[in-house]
Copies of this chain bind each other. A is one copy, B any other.
Amino acid sequence: MQRVTFSTNARAARPLNIATRRALKVRAATPSSAGKPAATPAKAAASTAATTETAKSNEEQCVGVFCLEYDISNEPSKTAATWKPTIKVAVSGAAGNISNHLLFMLASGEVWGKDQPIALNLLGSERSREALEGVAMELEDSLFPLLREVNIGIDPRSVFEDCDWALLIGAKPRGPGMERGDLLEQNGKIFVEQGKALNEVADKNCKVLVVGNPCNTNTLIAMANAPGLAKENFHALTRLDENRAKCQLALKSGVFYSTVTNVTIWGNHSTTQVPDFVNARINNMPATEVISDREWLENEFAPCVATRGGALIKKWGRSSAASTAVSIADAIKALVTPTEPGDWFSSAVSTDGNPYGIEEGLVFSMPLRSKGDGGWEFVEDVIIDDWLRGKIKASEDELKKERDCVMHLMGMAGGSCELGPEDTTLPGEA
């Protein structure tokens, strides 16, 4: 049996680390073990020798064919020789519905490009461990050429190790009768743990995208608990809202959605979010000129975007996992490909240094541009009229209250939770 070690640049930079981690890996007992390679017993033996049963169960595990190691630069394929060093992508909530769409999109090369090999590290819970194996088996059976490693685990300290991207999709759903404050508290604890884990083990340039709700404040908590990572590398997902807003503007104006540009979602990923028609452009004309119905823009457009998830559940009987996954892919692509000249995208990021007058120390969706290097910059030339200013303020006030509820989770003194009884969770989201 042929067995070789990784020799791509990313790996070569940390050989000892990888060697240690690999030696500890336990091969998951998948049904494919009928055809297990000769190396497997040796790996399992090494693991048993090095760890106790308990430790082993918390260690990330490779799955099936992904337990083998491949030297891409030695492969016969002409294309593989020109590939970039492998990136490691950690995904939480990996056994859930959104991930079940997203992982296959990521592995296909649609997001990072057809020359970017990928390692997927899947984080689940004790309850979802078997399901994680099932997901990994489906990834095996899909034969994605760029997918070179799949590991599963339930300990973020293991699963986030060396990751270049962390896509934090998992969160506790809102239970019946649960106040938004309780939801913040319960999910906040998850993001304290995950923030600390990222701080300890992730690559120092790791980009973090939080999807689990309430995502803005979860991001704020993770960021506060990962002081070793740059704040600019944290994002909360508002891209699905942006995509929905573009579609509604297209529909209203009778044009195809690809002609709608410069749409921003401002603020919180909640019902206080502000889809910005003031700066939006349709066929390169101001949206407010194309759509003369200001009443619709001010009073119907935003609720239509915010209630879209609820309308979908009503039709479809389940939440919009596929389009959420597409929007996550879009959000990543927005950071790794240069933004089209004159256009922008929105993402909820740290307000520190923002030119819009929004209080610092929050995570707020704002208009951004990227050079395609994973970083971003604020868009300077946006119009904030009185209407927009008022709406932004309302979402800012909500996020300040959410921050006050979780200051203890951010390692800060003070703060008291004064969120009103009003439920601003987006319909269609738990």
Binding site for B on A (CB under 8 A): 1-3, 30-32, 34-39, 64-65, 68, 70, 75-77, 100-101, 104-105, 108, 110, 130-131, 133-135, 137-143, 145, 148, 240, 243-244, 246-259, 283-284, 296, 300-301, 304, 307-308, 311-312, 315-317, 320, 322-323, 325-327, 330
A154 to chain B, nearest CB (A): 15
Interchain CB contact under 8 A, A296 and B134: no
A29 to chain B, nearest CB (A): 10
Chain B, residue nearest A103 (CB): B322
Chain B residues with Cβ below 8 Å from A296 are 34-35
Q: Is the interface of A mostly helix, strand, loop or mixed?
A: helix
Interchain CB contact under 8 A, B316 and A130: yes
Q: Name 18 interchain pairs, CB-CB below 8 A, sorted by A.
A: A1-B253, A31-B307, A34-B296, A34-B304, A35-B300, A39-B254, A68-B254, A68-B255, A75-B259, A101-B104, A105-B108, A130-B316, A137-B315, A142-B322, A142-B327, A143-B246, A143-B247, A143-B258
Interchain CB contact under 8 A, B104 and A284: no
Given contacts A35-B300, A36-B252, 7 further A-B contacts (CB under 8 A): A65-B247, A65-B257, A68-B254, A75-B259, A137-B312, A141-B323, A142-B323
CA distance A296 to B34 in the complex (A): 8
Chain B residues with Cβ below 8 Å from A64 are 247, 251
Interchain CB contact under 8 A, A254 and B320: no
Interchain CB contact under 8 A, B312 and A37: no
The listed residue (B1, B145, B304, B311) touching A254 by CB distance below 8 A is B1
A130 to chain B, nearest CB (A): 5
Interchain CB contact under 8 A, B39 and A141: no
Interchain CB contact under 8 A, B311 and A137: yes
CA distance A70 to B317 in the complex (A): 31
Most buried by B among A32, A110, A256, A296: A256
CA distance A36 to B304 in the complex (A): 12
Given contacts A243-B141, A247-B143, contact A38 B301 (CB under 8 A): no
